[in-house]
Amino acid sequence: MTRYVLTLEDSAAFEPWREMARAALQRAIPPESLDWRIRGGETDLFGQQTNDSDGMVALTEGPVLKSVTLRASCIALLRDMLCHSDPGRFALAYRIAWRVQGNPHLLDVATDVDIAKARIMIRQNRQDCHKMTAFVRFRELPAQIGGGGRRRFLAWFEPQHHILERVAPFFAKRFTDMDWMILTPRGSIRWDGKDLAYSAEPCEQPELDDGFGDLWNTYYASTFNPARVRTKAMRREMPGRYWKNLPETRLIPQLVAGAEARVRMMAEQMPLPAPAFHGKLRSRDNLPVQPLSHTPEDLAAKIRTCTACPLHCAATQAVVGEGAIDARIMVVGEQPGDQEDLAGRPFIGPAGQVLQEALEKAGVDRSTLYLTNAVKHFRFRLQGRRRIHQSPDEAHVAACRPWLEQEIALVRPKLIVSLGATALKALDGPGSVMAERRGTLWTVGEGENAVQRLALAHPSWLLRLGDSAQGEIERQRFGEGLVRLRDFCGRPKV
| The pLDDT of residue 266 | 64
d(CA 318, CA 190): 71
pTM of the model: 0.48
Residue 65 backbone phi and psi in degrees, to 5: -95, -30
pLDDT at 301 over 70: yes
Confidence of residue 65 (pLDDT cuts 50, 70, 90): confident
% residues pLDDT > 90 (the chain): 51
Split at pLDDT 50, 70, 90, the class of 42 is very low
How would you classify residue 30: left for phi > 0, otherwise alpha for psi between -120 and 50, otherwise beta?
Answer: beta
- Asked whether 459 and 419 are in contact (CB, 8 A), the reply is yes
Of 88-102, 214-228, 349-363, the range with the lowest mean pLDDT is 214-228
Residue type, 214: D
pLDDT in tens, 422-478: 999 999 988 888 888 898 889 988 877 889 999 999 999 999 998 898 989 999 999
**What's the pLDDT score for residue 191?**
93
Q: Which residues contact 489 (CB under 8 A, 6 or more apart)?
A: 328, 329, 364, 365, 368
Decide the pairing of beta strands 329-333 and 369-373. parallel
- Strand-pair partners of 5: 35
Following DSSP, what letter does each residue of 83-124 receive, concatenated? Answer: TS--TTHHHHHHHHHHHHHH-TTGGG-TT-HHHHHHHHHHHH
CA torsion sign for 104, 107, 108, 110 is positive
Question: What are the extents of the domains in the chain?
Answer: 4-130, 136-199, 213-266, 293-489
Q: Using 50, 70 and 90 to split pLDDT, how confident is the model at 211? A: low
Q: Residue 320 gets which letter from DSSP?
A: -
- Among the four given CATH numbers 2.130.10.10, 3.40.50.720, 3.40.50.2300, 3.40.470.10, the one describing domain 293-489: 3.40.470.10
What local confidence, expressed as pLDDT, does residue 69 receive?
83
Mean pLDDT computed over 94-101: 94
Of 131, 135, 133, residue with least CA distance to 123:
131
Other CB atoms within 10 Å distance of the CB of residue 152: 17
The answer to whether the beta carbons of residues 355 and 340 sit under 8 Å apart is: no
- Nearest in space to 98 (alpha carbons), one of 180, 31, 12: 31
**Residue 149 is inside which H or E element, if any?**
none
Structural contact between residues 12 and 162, judged by C-beta atoms closer than 8 angstroms: yes
Neighbours of 195 (CB within 10 A): 8
CA 201 to chain centre: 41
Q: At what angle do helices 113-135 and 89-102 cross, to 10 degrees?
A: 130
pLDDT at 452: 92
130 has a pLDDT exceeding 50: yes
